[in-house]
Chains A and B, each alone.
Chain A
Amino acid sequence: MSWLLQWVLPNEVNQIDDIHRTDIEQSIQQLERFVLEHSNKIKKVFLWVCLHRPFSIRQQMEFEERWEKEVRKKIQKEIEVIPIVRKKGNRLDDELIEVNREIHRICIKEPFEEMVLISKGEHSLLQKAVLIGGIKTFQERFCLMLQDETTGEFILQQFHDSPYKKSWLQLYQHLIHHYNYAGALKLMEGLEKNEKTLFIKHLLEVMLFRGNFNFEEALESFQKAKEIHTEDHFRLTETEQILQHLNGMEGEQKKELEQILELYRHIKALLLIEDYPSFLTRFYRVREAVLKYIIKYGPEEKVDMQRVSSIYQFINQVEELYEEEKINRYFGAYFYIKSSNVANALNVRNKSFIGHNRKAISKNAIFHEYYGSKNIKISQATERFLGDTRIMLRDLGGSLDDNLEAMNLYLIELIVSAAKEGAVKVD
């Protein structure tokens, strides 16, 4: 087993250029020395950074890329920078839920390696969160590396038979972070039935129905949840609004835009859990949905379109409307959606077993077609894809939110707080 080395920067970071701040340079020098001494054991280095304030998505991507590049030059190892935004009020539980999401991802990606956290005697909330998250998630494969202040020598502390191997709560978190609501619902069956667990169950159903685009039943389950806990309702306003839009309660145009947004929410989740067949099915659909939206809401006056059999004929029709100046908006969205990046990526679908062929779906092929390069991290590929998506959706008058992820965090918060209050028991 090799090491997934966890290094937590002790101080908060304000801006990208902080990589040259003295305290940070010192910390990275320490890391460099450690990596040099243990080079053959280390598979990958994770650098945890606490951001003093939230960065924009673009800033954060630039931050990760630049820091990773600079640190990689020094340590000659695969490196991943994980930024966590500082929480107001320093709540360890909030920090933990977020840190756990990252550790879950690491654990899925590297199920057989050991997680080694370096303890340098510096205290920070993030260090404690990574420590606790690591102990619970990596369990027996979690190791603490302690440095003797006087001799500089390192000692590895590892325990066998972790109690968290049988942790219900850990499993629940894994399932939720994996958007596996069917699994989470099954897990809930083992819990005592009371108002709190019923509330969570209804919300899980909402998510499950959304997956099948069954929004009537999603809304029904949502109403049932609302009847139980009206006071928790403010956390769910966004979701309620989304469901109302999707059920056409705010008019047709809102419904159609929300359908596109909802597709993208699922697309994002599917990319993150690397479910490529399902991703391609939905990405294929959303291209057409955007074009239809442009045709329907682009022209000042309604235009009647001839039925066409292929997407390329359809694109030609839209092009004609632009040429004839019948559509005078959504230019960005149009050019993005007809771009060769999108078309080529979708060609992977066409040539696969879910399209018109018998071939397997390869992640590399999708990324190669979309970005023109295979050497791209999944998280960054996803972010760049979503970056493009966000710009495109803005042009249509929508914006991509993190509703599924926000719901996930809420679903975890609910069960964590219920567990603390002793309000849930295994039946």
Chain B
Amino acid sequence: MMLEEEELIFIHPTMETENVPNALNVRLKGENLQQKLDDLEEYLENLAMEAKKIRIIVESQGNVLTDAAIHFCMTHFPLKTEIKMKHELWRNSDIHWQGEEVYQLVRHLIYLNKYKMAELILKNYSEDDDLFHLLQFGEQLLNGNAKFVDSNNELFYFHLLQRILKRFDHDKEELQFIQVMKGLANSKQRAFIYFLQNYCKQMYKTEELIDFIVLYYRLAEESLLYAMGWDVNDSNYYWVRRNAKQSVPFEKPISRHFYSYLKIILNKAKENPRNRFYQDLIKDFTQDWLIGLIDLRHEGISGHGFRHFSKELFEEIASGDPIEKMNELLERYGLYTKHDLFELLQKAILALARNSLMDTDGRKNFDRN
């Protein structure tokens, strides 16, 4: 292996090889590889104190010590390391930042619901199992899954989230909300509607508009079913909720669609034109902004067209913020929640992550050659 720094240094791994002319010949004294490695590292350490650059020249026949030197130099003197192979000179370059900035980015990734990416960074700073379980919870939630893998402990994620939130920020209402959200593991109606509501809000925030409108439509559909006083299970079995204050008399819908439900109500309203409940349902669920957005879903990738999506377009059609509009509608049927499972999860993750990240410090600098 050779090192070049104004002067050429030739590092011989053994005593037997011949000296190289016009170079400083250095010999590693160790008897075995471990001792030679120690020698090499000590030499490089001393060299780096004086040298501006360390250029490692890779010889074609190769040597394990060359790899070892690259590993050592790139880790300990990242700014000074260069590697020369054949005719190519490779300079290590990077941009570094501080612990606080890493935290800011993790925060942003969590805010964007990019849990896998956040995990990638956080694993360097933390060994906290709770933190990583929460990140997995986030990732699973995006797939609509709230159950933990162990069927004896399906609600583990929820219990963990409650435990962490209790530790950092004991808010009774929030803990109560999580209690309700446990129903998501069993596709319970209210929990599921809250989940859609939360998920929509997240997707709108991150401008993942195709996925947003898919969920928004589902939210309208499930909310209409709820407003009718009905529920349905995963085998498409419908029933009238026992606790419903008012309900539309049961009649099997043609399909599990928004318009299919609406049709039933329209028919009933025709039969009983004076029924206030039917009239209100129709008025509420055929408002221009809602139908406009449902049609928009239809026109995009989310439905059957290729319409270009932007927030401006959504807000124009909804004559306002689609989330706020929906909140008002949900409020009328007691379905609006100010809590957000994703936000609570984000809060818990960041509380744990912040502890891990704030322990480290570093200098903000730009590393270049």
List the interface of chain A (C-beta within 8 A of B): 90-93, 107-108, 111-112, 117, 119-125, 127-128, 131-132, 135-136, 139-142, 144, 146-151, 153, 155, 157, 159, 162-171, 174-175, 178, 180, 182-183, 186-187, 190-191, 208, 211-217, 259, 263, 273, 275-278, 281-282, 285, 288-289, 351-354, 356-362, 416, 419-422, 424-426
Contact B207–A212 (Cβ < 8 Å): yes
Take A157-B71, A214-B309 as given contacts and tell me if A420 and B93 are in contact as well, using a CB distance cutoff of 8 Å. Answer: yes
Q: How far is the CB of B299 from chain A (nearest CB, A)?
A: 11
Cα separation A160 to B277 with both chains bound (whole Å): 68
A-B residue pairs in contact (CB < 8 Å), sample of 22: A112-B123, A117-B67, A119-B64, A128-B83, A144-B67, A146-B37, A159-B71, A159-B75, A162-B124, A174-B120, A180-B117, A212-B209, A212-B210, A214-B309, A216-B308, A351-B234, A353-B218, A354-B218, A357-B234, A360-B147, A361-B143, A425-B95
Contacts of B64 in A (CB 8 A): 119-121, 146-147, 149
Contact B124–A146 (Cβ < 8 Å): no
B142 within 8 Å of A by Cβ? Answer: yes
Q: How far is the CB of B143 from chain A (nearest CB, A)?
A: 5
Contact with A along B131-147 (1 / 0, CB 8 A): 01000000010111111
Cα separation A354 to B199 with both chains bound (whole Å): 11
B19 within 8 Å of A by Cβ? Answer: no
B108 within 8 Å of A by Cβ? Answer: yes
The residue that A419 contacts in the complex, of B66, B93, B144, B300, with Cβ under 8 A, is B93
Contact A128–B58 (Cβ < 8 Å): yes
The residue that B120 contacts in the complex, of A111, A191, A352, with Cβ under 8 A, is A111
Contact B301–A277 (Cβ < 8 Å): no
Take A135-B74, A159-B72, A362-B143 as given contacts and tell me if A281 and B302 are in contact as well, using a CB distance cutoff of 8 Å. Answer: yes
Contact B187–A426 (Cβ < 8 Å): no
Contacts of A107 in B (CB 8 A): 120
- A-binding segment of B158-166, B333-341, B360-368: B360-368
Contacts of B144 in A (CB 8 A): 277, 352-354, 358-361
Closest to B87 in A: A90
- A-binding segment of B3-11, B96-104, B278-286: B96-104
Cα separation A191 to B364 with both chains bound (whole Å): 12
Contacts of B302 in A (CB 8 A): 281, 285
Contact A182–B74 (Cβ < 8 Å): no
Contact B109–A183 (Cβ < 8 Å): yes
7 smallest beta-carbon distances between A and B, as pairs: A123-B62, A360-B145, A168-B95, A148-B33, A358-B187, A119-B67, A353-B144
Contact A162–B75 (Cβ < 8 Å): yes
Contacts of A420 in B (CB 8 A): 91, 93, 368-369
Closest to A107 in B: B120
Of B67, B70, B88, B362, most A-chain CB atoms within 10 Å: B67
Take A171-B121, A212-B207, A358-B187 as given contacts and tell me if A123 and B94 are in contact as well, using a CB distance cutoff of 8 Å. Answer: no
B304 within 8 Å of A by Cβ? Answer: yes
B295 within 8 Å of A by Cβ? Answer: no
Contact B66–A123 (Cβ < 8 Å): yes
Closest to B145 in A: A360
Contacts of A163 in B (CB 8 A): 75, 78, 94, 96
Contact A92–B83 (Cβ < 8 Å): yes
Name B51-106 residues within 8 Å CB distance of A. Answer: 58-68, 70-72, 74-76, 78, 83, 85-86, 88, 90-99, 101-102, 105
Closest to A89 in B: B88
Closest to A256 in B: B306
Contact A426–B32 (Cβ < 8 Å): no
Cα separation A108 to B120 with both chains bound (whole Å): 6
Closest to A153 in B: B33
Contact B75–A92 (Cβ < 8 Å): no
Contact A157–B309 (Cβ < 8 Å): no
Contacts of A149 in B (CB 8 A): 33, 64
Take A166-B98, A276-B143, A277-B142 as given contacts and tell me if A123 and B58 are in contact as well, using a CB distance cutoff of 8 Å. Answer: yes
Contacts of B85 in A (CB 8 A): 90, 92, 125, 128
Contacts of B362 in A (CB 8 A): 166
Contact B210–A416 (Cβ < 8 Å): no
Cα separation A92 to B87 with both chains bound (whole Å): 11
Cα separation A187 to B109 with both chains bound (whole Å): 10
Cα separation A287 to B32 with both chains bound (whole Å): 64
Cα separation A214 to B210 with both chains bound (whole Å): 11
Contact with A along B29-52 (1 / 0, CB 8 A): 000111001000000000000000
Known: A124-B62, A165-B102; 19 extra A-B contacts, CB below 8 A, are A121-B63, A123-B62, A127-B67, A147-B64, A163-B96, A166-B362, A167-B94, A169-B94, A212-B209, A212-B310, A277-B142, A277-B144, A358-B187, A359-B144, A360-B146, A420-B93, A426-B364, A426-B365, A426-B366
Closest to B189 in A: A358
Contact B68–A119 (Cβ < 8 Å): yes
B27 within 8 Å of A by Cβ? Answer: no
Q: How far is the CB of B96 from chain A (nearest CB, A)?
A: 5
Of A140, A212, A416, most B-chain CB atoms within 10 Å: A212
Closest to B122 in A: A111
Cα separation A341 to B198 with both chains bound (whole Å): 33
Q: How far is the CB of A396 from chain B (nearest CB, A)?
A: 16
Cα separation A43 to B231 with both chains bound (whole Å): 47
Contacts of A140 in B (CB 8 A): 124
Q: How far is the CB of A87 from chain B (nearest CB, A)?
A: 11
Q: How far is the CB of B296 from chain A (nearest CB, A)?
A: 12
Contacts of A263 in B (CB 8 A): 301
Of B144, B187, B300, most A-chain CB atoms within 10 Å: B144
Closest to B123 in A: A111
Q: How far is the CB of A270 from chain B (nearest CB, A)?
A: 10
Cα separation A259 to B71 with both chains bound (whole Å): 47
Contact B114–A190 (Cβ < 8 Å): no
Contact B68–A146 (Cβ < 8 Å): yes
Cα separation A91 to B85 with both chains bound (whole Å): 10
Contact B97–A426 (Cβ < 8 Å): yes
The residue that A277 contacts in the complex, of B119, B143, B195, B206, with Cβ under 8 A, is B143
B211 within 8 Å of A by Cβ? Answer: yes
Closest to B58 in A: A123
Q: How far is the CB of A416 from chain B (nearest CB, A)?
A: 7
Of B66, B71, B360, most A-chain CB atoms within 10 Å: B71
Contacts of B75 in A (CB 8 A): 135, 159, 162-163
Contact B93–A135 (Cβ < 8 Å): no
Cα separation A167 to B362 with both chains bound (whole Å): 11
Closest to A127 in B: B67
Cα separation A1 to B254 with both chains bound (whole Å): 54
Cα separation A59 to B66 with both chains bound (whole Å): 35
Contact A354–B91 (Cβ < 8 Å): no
Contact A132–B304 (Cβ < 8 Å): no
B148 within 8 Å of A by Cβ? Answer: no
